[in-house]
């Protein structure tokens, strides 16, 4: 498998920018390119969370389904964002659904492959979590603000 291109792509991504060449080569072995057409569902809620997606081009809507109503978009993701954290946390199932709102190009990383490499190499595992955690924390902070429904009572 040609992984050299993936190493370069990963090295330019904010999460992996500090990784050395050998580590990037290791991760690149789990990577593949994907293209998703606008409007297509990338995964449904409850699906096995077997991939992490690095968005290269295009936009994604993260949606929560509601009975007898249209789903609600709770977050949109854009180039350089990461889609899908559930591959890190048992039972490895998606808690929301993701839809491409435009034509989408992503690099996806196989979750089982990443977990196996992290288990085999704890230093890599630590580094992965150390670099991913700030992004997850940023998303949690944003969601906290979102649930406050701040604008409901604002006045001029």
Q: Which residues of 33-44 are buried (b: 16+ CB within 10 A; e: fewer)?
A: eeebeeeeebbe
Number of residues that bind other proteins (CB under 8 A): 26
- With CB under 8 A as the contact rule, which of the stretches 3-11, 17-25, 49-57, 146-154 interacts with other proteins? 146-154
Length of the chain as a residue count = 156
How many DSSP H helices and E strands does the chain contain? 4, 8
123 near other proteins (CB under 8 A) = no
Query: DSSP 3-state assignment of 78?
Result: coil
Q: Which is nearer to other proteins, 42 or 61 (CB)?
A: 61
Residues 101-120 touching other proteins, rule: CB under 8 A, are: 101
Minimum distance from residue 42 beta carbon to other proteins (Å): 14
Residue 77 and residue 58: Cα distance in Å, rounded? Answer: 9
Query: Which residues touch 137 (CB under 8 Å, ≥6 apart)?
Result: none
Q: Is the CB of residue 51 less than 8 Å from the CB of residue 108?
A: yes
150 near other proteins (CB under 8 A) = yes
41 near other proteins (CB under 8 A) = no
Residues 69-98 touching other proteins, rule: CB under 8 A, are: 70-76, 78
153 near other proteins (CB under 8 A) = yes
Residues that bind other proteins (CB under 8 A): 61, 63, 70-76, 78, 99, 101, 138, 141-142, 145-146, 148-156
């Amino acid at each position: 498998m040609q992984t050299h291109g993936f190493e370069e792509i990963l090295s330019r991504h904010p999460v992996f920018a500090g990784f050395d060449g050998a580590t990037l080569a290791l991760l690149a072995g789990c990577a593949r390119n994907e293209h998703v057409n606008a409007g297509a569902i990338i995964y449904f809620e409850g699906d096995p969370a077997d991939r992490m997606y690095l968005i290269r081009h295009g936009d994604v809507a993260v949606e929560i389904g509601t009975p007898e109503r249209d789903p609600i978009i709770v977050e949109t993701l854009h180039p350089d964002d990461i889609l899908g954290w559930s591959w890190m946390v048992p039972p490895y199932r998606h808690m929301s659904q993701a839809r491409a709102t435009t034509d989408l190009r992503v690099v996806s990383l196989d979750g089982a492959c990443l977990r196996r490499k992290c288990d085999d190499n704890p230093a890599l595992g630590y580094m992965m979590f150390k670099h991913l955690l700030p992004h997850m924390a940023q998303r949690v902070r944003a969601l906290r603000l979102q649930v406050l429904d701040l604008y409901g009572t604002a006045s001029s």
